[in-house]
Amino acid sequence: MTKRSRRSYEGVAVTVPVTVPYVRYSTRGAHWFIGQAVKRLLDGSGLQKDQIDGLTVSSFSLTPDTAVGVTQHLGLQPRWLDHIPTGGASGVMALRRAARAVQAGDADIVACVAADTNHVDSFRLMLGGFSDFARDATYPYGSGGPNALFAFITSAYMARTGATRADFGKLCVDQRTNALAYGSRVFRKLLTLDEYLATRPIADPIHLFDCVMPCAGAEAFLVMSEARAQDLGLAYATVRGSIERHNAYSGDPIMLRGGWHVDRDDLYAMADCTPADIGFLQTYDDYPVIVLMQFEGLGFCGHGEAPGFVRSRSMAWHGDFPHNTSGGQLSSGQAGCAGGFLGMTEALRQITGAAPGRTVGRPTLGLVSGYGMVAYDRCLCTGAVILGAPQ
């Protein structure tokens, strides 16, 4: 069977990165955070509400409502709508779908929004209902939620590659350095490697600073044509290439690689570049181990070689391999599905020169990687997008 070439994303602009500042706990619901994000999109673009004719929504705590309920609550009347509750992969997936809608003429301006709330009992409730598919294999044994699942994956990765806790700690320390230059962050103190190594275990081999801090907040951006962005006088990035894959390598006994490896040649071919041309990388980072898998899957190092790669690089925003320049979720916090948008909004700020205090020069290309929906022994959704400065 002949493989069909992928259609480019030529002419599509991504613009107006928005963050609704994170708070540890909130009595407000997801609707409120979504509404705040939409208001900031309108304020940042100068658009009127009726000019938003496309909408994607990503949220876990919005339930039992869906994206269509949001349209009534906010008074929107989109002619194109999508609900994408895929966690860490939702930002890449939302961008891909919105870009195709703009190219097809199904929408002129799409608001891509992700938001979740976090109240004092959210984590306990999540543990019992994290995944119906995985629950019967874990919960009867006193295990539940993502910490236990990622302990399983992390342990297998360490055994295969020789990765150590110090390797994961170096990643966390560099990301904390980045977070201190970023406004919306949960953690506000420097982190040393000794402090990282001394923290209490949560689910061996995972310790405290390997876990993201649940919080409430929102992230959002707009997708439109380049011509429209220019008419509105908006700074924007272009979409050079994008991929996604679900349930990749399903025959592997446990996840040690993700779907990025399947499609990455297409990703770089679409963008006419190689990993060496990427000016910065934003990965989904709910746990350090999955970051190392993304380094490998995206071709920055070989399969199983990420521990050595991490040891030889500085991943701070001013280092030789700028990574998660907002601090990522490990230091900025995880506002549910908004965590899957955090890399996208930060990448837009870097490309457009709107990241004061942590600017990676003016990079021509940046890569955002998504990962979401872990179920017992593997992640199900992976994706990536390369963004570039207008040419």
Give domain limits for the chain.
Answer: 12-120+214-232
- In whole angstroms, give the CA distance from residue 64 to residue 133: 20
Phi, psi of 168 (to 5 degrees): -65, -35
Give the pLDDT score at 42: 98
11 burial via Cβ count (<10 Å: 0-12, 13-18, 19+)? middle
Phi, psi of 23 (to 5 degrees): -130, 145
Give the pLDDT score at 128: 53
Q: How many Å separate Cα 341 from the centre of its chain?
A: 5
Residue 64 or residue 102, greater confidence: 102
Give the pLDDT score at 140: 67
Q: Are 332 and 346 in contact (CB under 8 A)?
A: no
Tens digits of residue pLDDT in 62-86: 989 999 999 999 999 999 999 999 9
pLDDT over 80 at 276, yes or no: yes
Fold (topology level) of 12-120+214-232? Peroxisomal Thiolase; Chain A, domain 1 (3.40.47)
Q: Which tokens belong to 319?
A: 């280092």
Tens digits of residue pLDDT in 335-348: 999 999 999 999 99
pLDDT over 90 at 188, yes or no: no
Give the pLDDT score at 142: 62
Q: What confidence category does residue 5 fall into, taking pLDDT thresholds of 50, 70 and 90?
A: confident
Residues 6+ apart with CB under 8 A from 260: 243, 245, 294, 297, 298, 369, 382, 384
Task: Match 């940046």 to its residue by tokens.
Answer: 366
Phi, psi of 20 (to 5 degrees): -90, 115
- In whole angstroms, give the CA distance from residue 259 to residue 53: 32
Q: What confidence category does residue 3 fall into, taking pLDDT thresholds of 50, 70 and 90?
A: low
Q: Which tokens belong to 189?
A: 């103190």
Residues 6+ apart with CB under 8 A from 5: none
pLDDT over 70 at 320, yes or no: yes
Cα radius of gyration rounded to whole Å, the chain: 19
pTM: 0.94
Q: Residues 355-373: what's their mean pLDDT?
A: 92
- In whole angstroms, give the CA distance from residue 29 to residue 51: 26
Q: Which tokens belong to 271?
A: 């963008």
Q: What is the mean pLDDT of the chain?
A: 93
- In whole angstroms, give the CA distance from residue 50 to residue 259: 38
Q: Are 107 and 54 in contact (CB under 8 A)?
A: yes
> How far are the Cα atoms of 72, 255, 299, 302, 311 from residue 308, in angstroms, in the given order?
51, 20, 14, 10, 5
The CB density around residue 339, as the number of other CB atoms within 10 Å, is 30
Task: Match 């071709």 to its residue by tokens.
Answer: 299
